[in-house]
Structure 1
């Protein structure tokens, strides 16, 4: 029986307008009645997830920042800290590319450089990082680094950002999370590793877990659960990895998938 259900956010749970789908509260009620824990599993900041899921702050398990920060009821369950000096060097690698912006993702906050702040970047930041500080230098930050993120306002992150970061593969992993964003984390962490840590702590197996995803940063998540669902709008490789498929995020595919699991008597 399924005891834990995880879902990516953008392109997966959220609709085309970036909103929770109608019927979400009813699905969560049904899961609650069956004792199934729900976990947003996203590249978004923990505090951004809290904003999205107001009222569920103490009920959901939050796998934030692509699994580098996991919290439940406000307490840290698991985190993955980067090597700070090398992380800062990577953040400097793209600073001269027009239209590319960097984010130092810390445990306490997200940090961006003052000279690079403009309306375009600020609007994008608000989607994913609700706790943000503007600094003159990343070196002045008194926080641990759990992730470095890079935004391309032209939507060609794979072409314009990734080539500058691939030399850091090894100590870090570099993953495109969309056409606009590239994330860098420790080599030994991803959504899948975070899920495995949660499974150990909760004493549950992959057969007792379901997950929904759409993009390449969801690949390891697909491999860490038995009930892996690719969205209809998912990347072709994610569809290959997943055991099951559901409708697109525009059609509220996550809710459809969960409802089917409930109706088939697999939850509880």
Structure 2
């Protein structure tokens, strides 16, 4: 029986317009009555997830920032902190490259460097981050770094950003999070790590968990559950890693698949 369901957000749970499916509230209520937990698992900041799911704040487990921090009912369950000097080194390693915007992700706030404030791209950035501060430098920040993110507005992150971090491939987790984003975390810090930690804490087996995703920051999560679903619109290598394929996000594939779980008595 499935007892815990994880879902990525962009390109997965949200439709092509970035909206929740209309059937989402009814299916969440059905899961609640069946004792099945739901966990948004995203590269988004916790406060961005909370804005979308405010009415579910006490119900959902929130796996944010690619699994580097997990919260339930407003309390931190666990997190994975990057050593501060290493975080600054990584952030500054591409600081002078035009067209790449650097985001220093702390537990509570994300920080943009004054002078590289991507004002034209702020609407896109605010899809993922809600608590944002523009600073003169990172030296005075006391927030603990959990992720460093890099954004390109031209959907060319695989070509423009990802190769820049080849020197860190062995020592850090460098992941293509979408066509626009590359995320860097501690080695082994990813959604799969968060899923396994939650399984351990809740006494669940992989066979009791399902997960949905569309991009490479979902890769390890696919390997941590039995019911692993790549969306029909997913990045091809993720489809190869998943056991199953769900209909596309435009077709509300996550909702359709969860409804099939219910109909089959799997949860």
Aligned to 1:139: 139
State how far apart, in whole Å, the 2-side matches of 1:93 and 1:10 are.
27
- Aligned partners of 2:199 and 2:205 also within 8 Å: yes
Give, in whole Å, the separation in 2 of the partners of 1:238 and 1:171: 22
How do residues 47-86 of structure 1 correspond to structure 2 at under 5 angstroms? 47-86=47-86
Deviations 1:198-234 (A, max 9, x none): 0000111100000111111111111100011111101
Instruction: Determine the C-alpha separation between the residues in 1 that align with 2:224 and 2:239.
Output: 15
Q: Partner residue of 2:182?
A: 182
Distance 2:247 2:162 in 1: 30
Deviations 1:124-155 (CA, angstroms, capped at 9, x unpaired): 22100000111011222111100000001222
Would you say the 8 A contact 1:101–1:121 is kept in 2? no
- Greater shift, 48-57 or 232-241, is seen at 232-241
SS in 2 for 1:147: strand
Contact 2:230 2:246 in 1 (8 A): yes
| Aligned-residue offset at 1:170 | 2.6
Number of the residue aligned with 1:259: 259
Match of 2:223 in 1: 223
Shift of 1:161: 1.4
Note the alpha carbon deviations across 1:42-70, whole angstroms, 9 max, x for none: 00000000001120011100000000010
Could you list the runs of 4 or more consecutive aligned residues of structure 1 that deviate by over 6 angstroms after TM superposition? Answer: none
Note the 1:191-230 alignment, pairs <5 A: 191-230=191-230
Q: 1:112-123 maps to which residues of 2 (within 5 A)?
A: 112-123=112-123
Please list the CA deviations of residues 68-88 of structure 1 after superposition, one character each: whole Å capped at 9, or x if unmatched.
010000111110001111111
Per-residue Cα deviation, 1:74-125 (whole angstroms, up to 9, x for no partner): 1111100011111111111111111111011001211111111133231122
**Mean CA deviation greater in 18-27 or 231-240:** 231-240
Alpha-carbon distance in structure 1 between the residues aligned to 2:245 and 2:59: 27
Q: Distance in 2 between matches of 1:41 and 1:148?
A: 17
TM-score in terms of structure 2 length: 0.98
Once the two structures are superposed, residues 226-266 of structure 1 have per-residue CA deviations (whole angstroms, 9 ceiling, x without a partner) of: 01111110112221221111110000000000000010000
Match of 1:31 in 2: 31
Query: How many equivalent residue pairs?
Result: 267
Contact 2:101 2:118 in 1 (8 A): no
Name the Cα RMSD after superposition: 0.9
- Give the Cα–Cα distance (whole angstroms) in 2 for the partners of residues 162 and 140 of structure 1: 28
- Does residue 43 (structure 1) correspond to residue 61 (structure 2)? The answer is no
SS at match of 2:126: helix
Instruction: Give distance in 1, aligned partners of 2:66 and 2:118.
Output: 26
Distance 1:190 1:94 in 2: 22
Given that 2:67 and 2:193 are in contact with CA atoms closer than 8 Å, whether structure 1 keeps it comes out as yes
